[in-house]
Structure formats: C-alpha cells, structure tokens
C-alpha cells in the first residue's frame, strides 16, 4: 500500500524543520586558538642598538635576549627588526612591513638617532605615537624603551625629549622600560670605541635589565 502524498509531505516538512532548528542552535565556529606549543613572537623594533651594530651576529641584543629566554624555558621567538641609523620617521615608514610577521609582543626602541641629529622632539613623539597606535591595532602588546637625549643638546631639548617616553606610555597604557641603556651609558668598559654602542658585555647588561619586563608581557599572553 502506498503512503498518501499529504502525510509524506508533512513528514518531510517536520524533518526539514528539525534540521533547520538544529542548525540555528549549533555553536558558531570559533577562530583557531594559538596552539599550546606555538612560540610567542617578539619583534624587537629599533635602530642600531637593536640591530647589534659593531658586534658579531651572536652577540647582539636579539640573539642574547633569545638565549636568555631559551635558558628560562620560555617558548618565544625574537625577531630582529633593528636597522642601524633608523629614526622614528624611518620606523613609521617600515612598520607595516615588519608587522607582517604578526608579532604578539613588540619591543619598541627608537629615538636615539632623532636626538643625536637634533630633530624636533615633538615630531619624534608624533612618530612614536603613530607606531604605537598601529601596533595596538594588531592586538600586539608593546614594551616601549626610553632613551635620554645627549646633555649637550641643551636643557630644554633634553627635558622635552626625555619626557616623551613616560608620557606616551601613560597615555596609551603600555609597558615602559625607562632607559634602554640603563647601566651601560657612560661606562667605557661596556661600550665600543665610539662610546655609543654597547659591547657584548654591555648588551648582556641591557638584556639582564629588560628581561623581567619582557617575561611579564609573556606571562600576560593567552
């Protein structure tokens, strides 16, 4: 005996409705989370102090920071985004290219060359602010490293330049390491012959000082 056409259509309608309702209440697909074993990407974005000017490759800031993190057992990869001679304006120009590496944390070390060239601190501040805002748009955490102007630039210049780092950190609620060359500046035994760039031992001092700030940001990563 054949089923009547109307009951058959009713069964099909009810079944179709059940499928649609199940689809409506099914959980939405989520963006893939970082795998537990995937290392955090740290971009060291700066000038010759980051690039390791005048040193063998393995003695620069990035390799020494990587070694320190490895010894601690931290799952992180440090990317060298340092360019010798770079200014804050140069940083703005090449930032998007560096952010293509999708860093989770950015150590921002720029401004020393602006001060050495006597560039306007207000312009340097605008450039740093542009960099900070672009990085924050990606969701990456920022560790801003401060710099001090040469005292021969005059008191007014030094005051304006030195203040921009803590001001930017407070304004944008980002971490601050007050002085990148802390413990190294003005110490001849920790600097190369030019008196500006640290030796291997000088870099080790920098890494030891900044490491707790880096690990604090690592601990905040999901």
Within a domain: residue 109?
A: yes
Pick the catalytic residue: 47, 86, 162, 197? Answer: 197
* CB contact burial 170-196 (16+ within 10 A = b; e otherwise): eeeebbbbebbbbebbeeeebbeeeeb
Inside any domain, residue 1: no
Mean pLDDT of 53-72: 98
Residue 26 in domain = no
35 domain-assigned: no
Quick check: is 172 catalytic?
A: no
For residue 31, pLDDT beyond 50: no
| 194 catalytic per annotation | yes
Quick: pLDDT tens for 163-216: 999 999 999 999 999 999 999 999 999 999 999 999 999 999 999 999 999 999
CA pair distance 27, 122, nearest whole angstrom: 50
- pLDDT tens per residue, range 86-102: 999 999 999 999 999 99
How many domains does the chain fold into?
Answer: 1
Residue 89: inside a domain: yes
Instruction: Kindly indicate the confidence band of residue 4, based on its pLDDT and cuts at 50, 70 and 90.
Output: very low
Give the global pTM: 0.84
Flag whether pLDDT at 1 surpasses 50: no
Task: Tell me, yes or no, whether 210 lies in a domain.
Answer: yes
Active-site annotation holder among 96, 173, 194, 219:
194
In a domain, 92, yes or no: yes
Catalytic residue chosen out of the listed positions 47, 48, 86, 162: 48
48 annotated active-site = yes
CATH number of the domain bearing residue 172:
3.40.50.1110
């Amino acid at each position: 005996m054949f089923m009547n056409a109307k009951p058959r259509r009713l069964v099909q309608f009810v079944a179709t409705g059940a499928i649609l309702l199940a689809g409506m209440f099914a959980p939405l697909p989520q963006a893939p989370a970082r795998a537990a074993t995937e290392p955090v990407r740290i971009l060291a974005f700066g000038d010759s102090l980051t690039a390791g000017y005048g040193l063998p490759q393995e003695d620069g800031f990035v390799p020494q920071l990587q070694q320190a993190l490895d010894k601690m057992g931290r799952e992180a990869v440090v990317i060298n985004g340092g360019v010798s001679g770079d200014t804050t304006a140069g940083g703005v120009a090449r930032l998007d290219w560096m952010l293509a590496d999708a860093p989770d944390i950015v150590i921002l070390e720029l401004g020393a060359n602006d001060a050495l060239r006597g560039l306007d601190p207000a312009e340097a501040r605008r450039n740093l602010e542009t960099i900070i805002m672009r990085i924050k748009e990606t969701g990456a955490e920022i560790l801003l490293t401060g710099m001090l102007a040469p005292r021969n630039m005059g008191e007014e210049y030094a005051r304006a330049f030195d203040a921009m780092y803590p001001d930017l950190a407070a304004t944008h609620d980002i971490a601050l390491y007050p002085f990148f060359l802390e413990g190294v500046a003005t110490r001849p035994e920790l600097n190369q012959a030019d008196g500006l760039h640290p030796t291997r031992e000088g870099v080790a001092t920098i890494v030891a000082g900044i490491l707790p700030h880096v690990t604090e940001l690592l601990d905040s990563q999901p």
